[in-house]
């Protein structure tokens, strides 16, 4: 398995500064994302989430979804993009403020 810390960092850089810090003896870590405007997201990550590739990807997608909702992006388009394909990492095509897969996914889903 790839390094989960590297996967998390690569998922959010260069759009955000990524800070990972150990929170407990059990291996729980705190993920903090920030940009020039300040803190954007903060999430606890359990060892079980961190060490399971599918759970880690769902966590990353969940964080990206939450950030996008806060920015005011369309929830329907994002959900369509997230469910478009189980064969590739969800939201992998999302870059910065643009959800590049959303229009295609929305039209494919009939939205």
Instruction: Identify the band that residue 34 occupies on the pLDDT scale cut at 50, 70 and 90.
Output: very high
Which pLDDT belongs to residue 80?
Answer: 76
Range in 21-30, 67-76, 93-102 the model is least confident about: 93-102
Cβ partners under 8 Å of residue 93, min gap 6 = 81, 99, 100, 101
The per-residue pLDDT for range 37-66, each reduced to its tens digit, is: 999 999 999 999 999 999 999 999 999 988
The per-residue pLDDT for range 59-91, each reduced to its tens digit, is: 999 999 888 888 887 777 777 776 764 445 444
DSSP for 39-72 reads EEEEEEE-HHHHH-HHHHHHHHHHHHHHHHHHHT
């Amino acid at each position: 398995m790839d390094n989960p810390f590297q996967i998390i960092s690569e998922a959010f850089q260069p759009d955000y500064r990524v800070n990972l810090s150990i929170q407990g003896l059990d291996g729980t870590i705190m993920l903090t994302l920030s940009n020039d405007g300040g803190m954007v997201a903060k999430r606890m990550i359990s060892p079980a989430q961190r060490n399971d590739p599918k759970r880690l990807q769902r966590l990353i997608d969940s964080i990206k979804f939450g950030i996008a909702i806060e920015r005011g992006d369309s929830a329907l388009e994002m959900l369509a993009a997230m469910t478009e394909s189980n064969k590739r990492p969800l939201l992998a095509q999302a870059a910065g403020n643009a959800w590049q897969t959303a229009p295609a996914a929305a039209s494919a889903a009939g939205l």
